[in-house]
């Protein structure tokens, strides 16, 4: 499982460019920062008011945490600010990419990632603002949940936002959300076309330029 998540994180990292301002969701997306290609340095932003986060600390400073309550470090030149400023940055379109997980994504680019009815949750957090304000929204997740489809015709769980997802990257492949639906552009050699179609709960449009998933 860890190897599959690393595979996803490495492929997501290839979508980022040197100097991009990036927000990483909790869980798998946090692995992206440790898997960037050589020469690519991104500026990590956190909703609770940090710009310029560094690597995980060897000795945590209990006063420095990200929005997921994880201990973090701050790079030279990094800064702290209040939540109003942080969400001004997000809503103002100054975040180049946000990478987050999902409970469900559908063929329209709708996203459900914050609540399963009847279960306790801490709240939506900044996801609703991030997926609307960021210039590019990438969902990084395992393709299925215990064999159940997560990529669907229509989301069944409450929406985080609609028509917001640009790209989905899983251990099986890379998909782009386009007007015509979800288009498979890269397929990992570990899987066949029939296997990824079976694991997807909507029609998967195969790009005429389909290639092996980059690693």
- Which residues are known catalytic residues? 47
Q: Rounded distance, CA 153 to CA 181, Å?
A: 9
Q: Is 210 exposed, middle or buried (0-12, 13-18, 19+ CB in 10 A)?
A: middle
Bridge partner list, 145? 148
Q: Rounded distance, CA 122 to CA 26, Å?
A: 13
CB 48 within 8 A of CB 65: yes
Q: Rounded distance, CA 173 to CA 193, Å?
A: 10
Q: What is the DSSP letter of 179?
A: T
């Amino acid at each position: 499982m860890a190897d599959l998540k690393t595979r996803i994180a490495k492929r997501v990292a290839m979508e980022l460019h040197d100097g991009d301002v990036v927000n990483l969701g909790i869980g798998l997306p946090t692995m992206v920062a440790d898997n960037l290609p050589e020469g690519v340095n991104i500026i990590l932003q956190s909703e609770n008011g940090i710009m310029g986060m560094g690597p995980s600390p060897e000795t945590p400073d209990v006063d420095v945490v990200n929005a997921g309550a994880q201990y973090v470090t701050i790079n030279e030149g990094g800064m702290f600010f209040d939540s109003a400023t942080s969400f001004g940055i997000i809503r103002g379109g100054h975040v180049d990419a946000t990478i987050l997980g999902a409970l469900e994504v559908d063929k329209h680019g709708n996203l459900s990632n914050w609540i399963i009815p009847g279960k306790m949750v801490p709240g939506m957090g900044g996801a609703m603002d991030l997926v609307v304000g960021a210039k590019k929204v990438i969902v990084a997740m395992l393709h299925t949940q215990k064999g159940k489809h997560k990529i669907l015709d229509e989301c069944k769980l409450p929406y985080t936002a609609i028509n917001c997802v640009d790209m989905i990257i899983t251990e099986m492949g890379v998909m782009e959300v386009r007007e015509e639906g979800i288009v498979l552009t890269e397929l990992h050699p570990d899987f066949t076309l029939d296997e990824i179609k079976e694991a997807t709960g909507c029609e998967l449009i195969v790009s005429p330029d389909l290639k092996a998933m980059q690693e």
